Structure 1
Amino acid sequence: MSRNVGGIDRVLRIVIGLALLWYALLAPATGYNWIGWIGVVPLLTALIGNCPLYSIIGVSTCPVKKA
């Protein structure tokens, strides 16, 4: 499994993931707090460094390593 999530992409995924989880855990119960649990997905892809959707469509935000 190769990395396909670059630096800026990782930071944005962590911020968005944590914000959504904050909403799920700490926001007043409105009946829509389950939407916040979607934040687990960007958080995990940022920590792993691989996005399955990027692999399927052939996208990579990692910088190209020069030989």
Structure 2
Amino acid sequence: MADPISKFLSATSNHAAKTLSRYSPRRSKGAREPFNSLEDIMKNVGSIDRTLRFILGAILIALPLLTNVFAGWGSWQYAVSLIGAVLVLTAAFRFCPAYTLLGIRTCKLPNT
């Protein structure tokens, strides 16, 4: 004999599945699927842009710390490293706040 909790969970999941299938919207053939997640909506940095950001960011982080290229800049050399860190982070997260403000998107929309 099955315990009452597993019976309840089984009945509830079956009911939920039937309800969802009944009320799911019907899509016409060729219609674009909705975004899979919030992450898909937030992405606005494409693969080429992402690669360039990562390379340039890594260079901007390393140059002031490892060479004397920015030696005469004083505290500004750390600002260059900070800009490099921002570029690396925007590449890692595939999201650029400035692109959002300007309405730019260098990546393809999902499921297109």
Q: TM-score scaled by structure 1?
A: 0.86
Aligned to 1:40: 85
Identical aligned residues as a percent: 38
Q: Which runs of 5+ in 2 are unaligned?
A: 1-38
Contact 2:64 2:71 in 1 (8 A): no
Contact 2:46 2:108 in 1 (8 A): yes
The answer to whether 1:19 aligns with 2:19 is: no
Structure of greater relative contact order (alpha carbons < 8 Å, 6+ residues apart): 1
Deviations 1:4-46 (A, max 9, x none): 0000000000000000011121012614322431201110000
Aligned to 1:63: 108
**Aligned-residue CA RMSD in angstroms?**
1.6
By how many angstroms is 1:49 displaced?
Answer: 0.6
Residue-pair matches, total: 66
Q: Which runs of 5+ in 1 are unaligned?
A: none
Q: TM-score scaled by structure 2?
A: 0.54
* Aligned-partner residue type, residue 57 of structure 2: G
Give the Cα–Cα distance (whole angstroms) in 2 for the partners of residues 48 and 31 of structure 1.
Answer: 33
